[in-house]
Homo-oligomer: A and B are copies of this chain.
Amino acid sequence: MVISSQKFLDENKIDVYDRVRIDSNGRKFEGVVMPRHSFSKEDILVLKLDNGYNIGITVEDAEVEMLSRGESPKKGKTEQKRDEKLPGITILGTGGTIASHVDYSTGAVHPAKTAEEIIESSEGIRNIANVNAEAILSVASEDMGPAEWTLIAERIAEIHNERKEGVVVAHGTDTMAYTASALAFQLENISHPVILTGSQRSSDRPSTDAHDNLEGSAKAALSDVGEVCVVMHSETSDNGSAIWRGTRVRKGHTSARTAFSTPNEESLGIISEKIDWKQQYKAVGNETTVRSGFEENVALIWIHPAITLEDWESITDGKEGVIVAGTGLGHVGKRMIEGVLKTAGKIPVAMTSQCLAGGINMNVYSNGRKLVKGNVIDTGDMLPETALVKMMWLLKHEKDKVREMMAEDMVGEMGGRRFLE
């Protein structure tokens, strides 16, 4: 029988943040009890050890001894600094370099685990806003997926509707653009800003961009921008941070602080003392609505000179939808066309370009024209990454309209301009 960790704590009169010693299956651990996440396994209790690591311990047949009462470190901190003249924002920590630190014993960077660690790196924000910090996840960027996207969107909707304040999501940079798109499709209407930010250099390094990016994000979270956005270091070095449309941005450098840009448009604005807006954007509305969740069974295929029809078949077999990152204007070799058309007859297949900038146009060359006739979906100038997330969302929520909605703009993911003069 599985016993829930909450029940285990209740029976033993232990609260979150209490310091305890646990004996589980003959192994002993000492540390502080951490809050349970809704997606943790029921029987797992998370303990923060003195070396800074969190571990999950099964409570089945475990024994616990109270060492000292704890106090939520979250409470005190925010109270102490709260200034009633300032507006509020919430920072949701999810992991990544922005909330990470270097482990000097190994040289590796570890994600931070607690809300305090997020607040710690956001000193500059406190002159701008009262910060509510929550570490809802501690996940490396490359481990973020549909389950995490869902959790984050739902928590943002709760915060918008209950606290009536903007939300900054501190996130790893690798897949930040995927998550930004995922939030944009789930949160089509928002009453307050949703800003993703991160850092390319961890906050304990002199070259860190964590502070600038967090401060810029706070300013953006206090604006009236009603589209999900990313705030990171602007493209031109040492020019503050920039704000980009979340569905149009990508990480284009592995390590530079100026890694982010929108290949098909300029940034929405540059943030220094205040925000210098450069583009029109949708403003916030009256309420935040959430339609969360994704179909996960999809494929993203990068076309290249060695890919074969057999490769296509094995990658797409059993999938519910396919995004193709074709060459140039949206091409696949003629050896592949029969396979692509066959798949497109069964499930939605959408074309994007591995060029990343510019729009596709399958009507120019003969191979492309065959794809159009076979109902391969034209996604305009949508990024492959965004198209993937959009299809995953549509397959879950608009199953009957995937083809039609993939080809139309929903939340700013497609530019109005076509690129072939």
Contacts and interface: CB of A to CB of B under 8 A. Distances in A.
A364 B108 contact: yes
A383 B385 CA distance: 18
B254 A363 contact: no
Given A174-B327, A314-B317, A254 B388 contact: no
Contacts of A355: 251-254, 259
A93 interface: no
A294 B364 CA distance: 31
A331 interface: yes
B173 A142 contact: no
B108 A366 contact: yes
A107 interface: yes
Contact of A358 (B254, B361, B420): B254
A353 B173 CA distance: 13
B300 A306 contact: yes
Contact of A329 (B110, B255, B311, B359): B255
A352 to B, nearest CB: 10
A289 B296 CA distance: 49
Interface string A293-307: 010111111111111
A26 B99 CA distance: 73
A46 interface: no
A407 interface: no
B329 A361 contact: no
B317 A365 contact: no
B356 A252 contact: yes
A292 to B, nearest CB: 15
Q: Which of A145, A173, A334 has most chain B Cβ within 10 Å? A: A145
Interface residues of A, number: 76
Given A254-B359, A355-B253, A364-B109, A296 B300 contact: no
Interface string A327-354: 1111111110000000000000000010
A144 interface: yes
B256 A327 contact: no
A244 interface: no
Contacts of A365: 108-109, 140
B255 A333 contact: no
Nearest to A205: B421
A369 B108 contact: yes
Interface string A4-28: 0000000000000000000000000
A109 B368 CA distance: 11
A252 B392 CA distance: 26
A76 to B, nearest CB: 32
Contacts of A421: 207, 255
Nearest to A365: B109
Q: Which are the 10 A-B pairs with shortest beta-carbon distances?
A: A254-B358, A174-B328, A174-B327, A142-B331, A253-B358, A253-B357, A145-B305, A255-B419, A302-B302, A255-B420
28 contacts: A108-B363, A108-B369, A109-B365, A140-B334, A140-B365, A140-B366, A141-B331, A143-B334, A143-B367, A145-B306, A175-B305, A252-B356, A253-B355, A254-B329, A256-B357, A256-B419, A259-B357, A259-B358, A294-B306, A298-B306, A299-B311, A300-B302, A300-B304, A306-B388, A306-B392, A311-B315, A314-B315, A314-B317
Given A146-B305, A254-B360, A304-B388, 19 more contacts: A108-B365, A108-B366, A142-B334, A143-B335, A145-B305, A173-B328, A175-B305, A251-B355, A252-B263, A252-B355, A252-B357, A254-B355, A255-B359, A259-B358, A300-B302, A300-B304, A306-B388, A314-B314, A315-B315
Interface of A: 107-110, 140-146, 149, 172-175, 178, 207, 251-256, 259, 263, 294, 296-307, 311, 314-315, 317, 325-335, 353, 355-361, 363-367, 369, 384-385, 388-389, 392, 419-421
